Structure formats: structure tokens, C-alpha cells
Homo-oligomer: A and B are copies of this chain.
Amino acid sequence: MNLSNTSQYAIRVVSYMTFEDEDIYSASSLISKLGVSDKYLKRILTQLSEHGILRSTQGRYGGYILGKSPDKITLIEIVQAMESVEKYFGCVLGFESCTDEDPCTLHNKWAPIRNELMEFLNKTTIKDVLSNPSIIKF
């Protein structure tokens, strides 16, 4: 596929915070763990907080914690907090409408795959992501 870098980082940071159990996560510790540039990750963290996926505490000894339980955070929710997601679900040839009633020439072959993709983003939660603890890569 082609999630934006911003979305990829967002998913990774939420996964990391779920996997590594700490009381609170400062931006600087997350930056060094994930190897993403300072200001870029900070902006992502702020956006995630604005959308309720994280909760932030300002000031000294502040930082971020998860805003809700990992089994309530879906991938689509994280991606939506970062970018407009319509492009992932629209017509593969770029036409306005993409329905069975008004299909393009590729619709019949593409729509089933697109539906799986939607289901993947809609149904996969951060808890699912970490269901196999032997895989640790953030």
C-alpha cells in the first residue's frame, strides 16, 4: 500500500507505547527509540493527543500516555488522525464515484481487494498488532 510516513510513525509510536510498559512517555524518549526527527514526531504526538488516542500532560515530568485501551484503538483511527483517508478507499482509476452501480472498468477486480484493505484498517486494533510478543520491531 502506501500509508504516509506520518501515519506509519503514528502507528509505530502507539504500538511502542502499548508494548513497553512505562508510567509516562516523554517525546524525547520516544524520539530516541523510534529514530524519528524531533519536531516531526512531536507534531505527530500532539495530533494523536488532539484526537484522544493519546493523552498529554504538559510541564515538567509531563509526557504522553495512551488515551484509551489498546483494544479500542484501530489502525484507521490513527491514520485518520494524520491524514485524509478517502484516497485509500476511492476508485483505483481516480473516478469520482466508486460503487457497484457506477463502476469503472477495473471495479469488479479491484473492489474485493479494497474491501479487505478497509476491513484490515477498520478492524485491526493496537492490541491485535501486539498479539505476537515475539515480534518486537518499532
Contact = CB atoms under 8 A, between A and B. Distances in A.
Interface stretch (A22-30, A47-55, A107-115): A107-115
Count of identical protomers in the assembly: 2
Interface range on chain A (Cβ under 8 Å from partner): 35 or more
Contacts of A116: 113, 116
A47 B71 CA distance: 47
Interface of A: 1-3, 5, 8-9, 11-12, 15, 87-88, 92-95, 103-110, 113-114, 116-117, 120, 124, 128-130, 132, 135-138
Contacts of A120: 109-110, 113
B104 A135 contact: yes
Nearest to A124: B109
